[in-house]
Amino acid sequence: MTWTFPTSRISHDGAGTVALETCHRVSDYTAVARRRGQVFWTSSQLPDGATALDVHCPECAADRGLTVSGTWGAPAELTCLCGHSWTPRLPGLLPEQLLRQLIRLAADGPIKAIRYHLIKVDAADTHPTPLHDAVRPLVADAGRELHRRAWIFSDDETRVASDLLTQAGLRAYWSPEALEALARQTRTEEEQLARVVDMYRALAERSRWTGNRLGRFLAQATAVLKPIKVLTMDGLEPGPTWSGVSPVLEDARSALGAVHVILAAGATGDVDY
Ligand SMILES: [Zn+2]
């Protein structure tokens, strides 16, 4: 079991939306002010006008203090205080969707970094970054070739690389105004995911009809980054990251970023990084 956390109350509207109420001990969050017995509640809301139906134990009808357990993408298992365990079937919601929704609601707590540590059983594990790790050797090789001037971008390669960077919304030089606009921009995780998938598709598309050294680099990179193509919101398990986005998305972003660094270096001739 990867995630496990006690709840105060789980309710749903009978149409696929769940709300979660949880009780927190203050001492879990502050190391200094450890006043015994101090608690606070967090809760999410059902849509306006919805009737709140409480999830309850099929054996003893308990609807408070249910513990949620499960691994990301698997069905939720609930356990009541008497120790009965079951997988709830709610209308309009698959059991694995229920787990994902409850985890998202629970992980959206007040102090995320500590909350993950409390509700994710294997939170101590370092987060693997499979995509960035997979693309790293290719990027290192390409970077070395550029640095030694063993690979100098042709006009055609420069044009393709510039196109790809522009398409990805990247530029070699940022004006103060552009930087300011960038800082103001806030994207939802969904928008960021769509952007990452678009960037991947653009690279894969170009690799198909670019035959030179750049074409080979793009083909190799997009082959190892293929999992990005099928990333969906469902796959984005929450976790502690510096940026606050899912570790899976963060990994995909940094892997693509590494490829873009090569494109920018080759296209600008600035290869002494
Ligand atoms: Zn029970």
Q: pTM of the predicted model, to two decimals?
A: 0.81
For residue 88, report the distance from its CA to the centre of ligand 1, in Å. 12
What CA–CA distances, in Å, run from 94 to 13, 45, 133, 190?
A: 14, 20, 33, 21
For residue 268, report the distance from its CA to the centre of ligand 1, in Å. 66
The pLDDT score that the predictor gives to residue 127 is 58
The pLDDT score that the predictor gives to residue 138 is 97
For residues 206-231, give the mean pLDDT. 92
For residue 51, report the distance from its CA to the centre of ligand 1, in Å. 23
> What sign for the dihedral angle of Cα 210, 202, 227, 172?
positive
Note whether 199 and 249 are within 8 A (CB): no
Domain boundaries, the chain: 3-119, 130-268
For residue 141, report the distance from its CA to the centre of ligand 1, in Å. 59
For residue 63, report the distance from its CA to the centre of ligand 1, in Å. 9
pLDDT in tens, 126-182: 556 689 999 999 999 999 999 999 999 999 999 999 999 988 887 766 677 777 777
* Reported confidence tier of residue 66, pLDDT bands at 50, 70, 90: very high
pLDDT in tens, 76-126: 999 999 999 999 999 999 999 999 999 999 988 777 777 888 888 876 665
Q: Which string of DSSP letters, residue by residue, matches 89-122? A: -BTTB-HHHHHHHHHHHHHTSSSHHHHHHHHBTT
For residue 10, report the distance from its CA to the centre of ligand 1, in Å. 14
For residue 6, report the distance from its CA to the centre of ligand 1, in Å. 14
The pLDDT score that the predictor gives to residue 244 is 80
Secondary structure element (H or E) that encloses residue 131, with its range:
helix 130-147
For residues 42-69, give the mean pLDDT. 94
Task: Assign 3-class secondary structure to 67-90.
Answer: EEEECCCCCCEEECCCCCEECCCE
For residue 21, report the distance from its CA to the centre of ligand 1, in Å. 19
